[in-house]
Chains A and B, each alone.
Chain A
Amino acid sequence: MLRSYVVCSTVGPMRTRPRALESDPPSSRRRSNDPPLLILTSLAGGPKHGHALLKDIEEFAGVKLGPGALYGAITRLEERGLIEPLESEDRRRPYEITAKGSEVLADSIAQMRELVRVGQARLKVASTPRMRLA
């Protein structure tokens, strides 16, 4: 679901991405690139540090975030209380999603789900007359 979407996220700024076509070569497919939402989604699966976050996000969303973008988003998420750091003796400090963060992520997913529902319904209506004409 996160591979391509148009969402007015409550987590980050609005991102508008044209939908990728299955027939497009993988390199030309547009990926979702809303770092805060991607980070929350990743942390919903358990606490992770920066390196693990990058790997996980690349794996489930096909997005390779830059370190600058990752830590910009981590800063904002922590300021808003959506994630929190865990104690660590290592330089790699892990983060976990907070209850508020889970709530915000659930809201965002609900919005996307609604968007997908409306979009699919309208596409079905729009494609029916064309099919009849053909």
Chain B
Amino acid sequence: MGSGPKDSRPHLRASDPRLRWYPPSWRARYGDELIALLDDEYGGHLPTLVRLGLVTGGLRQRARESGLTGDSAPAAERLRAGALVVLTAWVAFVIAGASFAKFSEHFDQALPHSMSAHHVSDLAFTVLQTVAGVASILVIVGALLAVPAFVRYLRAGGWPSLRRHFMRAFACTGLTLAVTVPLVVWAHHLTPHQRNGGIHLYGTLFLLGAALIVMTLASWTVVAIVAGSRVALSKTVLIAEGILAVVVAVAMVVMVGATAVWWGVLARSAPAFLSGSPGGVSGSPWDVWLVATVALMVVAMGTGAVGVVREARVWRRMQVD
């Protein structure tokens, strides 16, 4: 079965759809053998469990090759992978932060005239905003540090490997702008009541716009990850990126703490605000929107911690070596 006419065309076998989950370099090295094995064992029909095994095997191999897991990738790759994990976590945190910003609009008007409640919640909110601003600047600094390497990569002919991801991100951005810009213009002509559930069409379009913004952020994150994992960064830049990633991960911990304090104060002093019943004096502090938002923040924080632990292991190993 193994020596048919297809055998003289290894590049075609390596692109066999059964191996689409494996990274290209792995397919080039082991693809032919694995396909020969699949042909020998199962002929033309792969059982579902085998298909699943190929999917998980391919994803594991991608994770190993990118330095996300295992020790086989060079230290620089593992360090870079840790920083990219933190970047991904940061994007998720930004989405949660935007949701929190919308939820917490005008919270200070809902608080009673108690000085301590105002003071603590304002302080927590200010800390949250300040740290978010600083962390955003650090992420931008990290991106700027990688720009020279990115330009070198493009000049060396790297564009084709990024084109598909860029096009997708541009398309998402265009669609998002097409929906959100008219929405913002419309919103300026509406009363707060109309914006907050008074007009169903506006509410639906708002949700659509939010979903598109998330999709756009995700598509640009994919661009950043694909580009970030391919450009050749110098050791100095790599270490700087690693340090920035650690600071951003710590910032996420601080922001989750500040959010928890804010939530605690509001739950005690103005639960009606959290339950979305303006003017009321009581209510549950467990609003679904807020719970989902904070859950996303915590997940992002945990993901960031995973990236930092990955970096720390590499640094420790480098010091030992």
Contacts and interface: CB of A to CB of B under 8 A. Distances in A.
A50 B31 CA distance: 12
A131 to B, nearest CB: 45
Contacts of B34: 50, 67, 71
Interface in B39-83: 40-41, 49-50, 53-58, 60-61, 70, 72
Interface stretch (A20-28, A90-98, A109-117): A90-98
Contacts of A91: 2-3, 7, 13, 32-33, 35-36
B5 to A, nearest CB: 12
A86 B70 CA distance: 26
Given A51-B41, A67-B41, A74-B30, A92 B36 contact: yes
A51 B40 contact: yes
Interface residues of A, number: 19
Contacts of A72: 57, 60-61
Contacts of B41: 51, 54, 67
Interface residues of B, number: 27
A71 B33 contact: yes
Given A68-B58, A90-B2, A91-B7, A50 B33 contact: yes
A92 B37 contact: yes
B33 A49 contact: yes
A15 interface: no
A76 B35 CA distance: 19
A45 interface: no
Given A49-B36, A90-B36, A92-B2, 20 more contacts: A49-B33, A49-B37, A50-B33, A50-B34, A54-B37, A68-B50, A68-B54, A68-B55, A68-B57, A69-B53, A70-B37, A72-B61, A75-B30, A76-B70, A90-B3, A91-B3, A91-B13, A92-B40, A93-B32, A93-B33
Which 10 A-B residue pairs are closest in the complex by CB-CB distance?
Answer: A68-B57, A68-B53, A66-B53, A91-B36, A50-B37, A51-B40, A91-B2, A68-B54, A91-B32, A72-B57
